[in-house]
A and B are shown apart, each in its own frame.
Chain A
Amino acid sequence: SQQGEEDPQALSIQEGENATMNCSYKTSINNLQWYRQNSGRGLVHLILIRSNEREKHSGRLRVTLDTSKKSSSLLITASRAADTASYFCATDRQGAQKLVFGQGTRLTINP
Chain B
Amino acid sequence: GAVVSQHPSWVICKSGTSVKIECRSLDFQATTMFWYRQFPKQSLMLMATSNEGSKATYEQGVEKDKFLINHASLTLSTLTVTSAHPEDSSFYICSAPSQGQRNEQYFGPGTRLTVT
**Contact surface of A with B, Cβ cutoff 8 Å:** 3, 30-31, 33, 35, 40-45, 48, 88, 92, 97-104, 106
Contact = CB atoms under 8 A, between A and B. Distances in A.
Interface of B: 6, 32, 34, 36, 41-46, 49, 91, 93, 95, 97, 102-110, 112
B79 to A, nearest CB: 15
Contacts of A41: 109-110
Interface of B is mostly: strand
Contacts of B45: 3, 101
Contacts, number: 56
B108 A42 contact: yes
Contacts of A48: 102-104
User: Which 10 residue pairs of A and B lie closest in terms of their CB atoms, listed nearest first?
Assistant: A42-B109, A43-B107, A42-B107, A101-B44, A101-B43, A97-B97, A103-B43, A42-B110, A31-B103, A104-B43
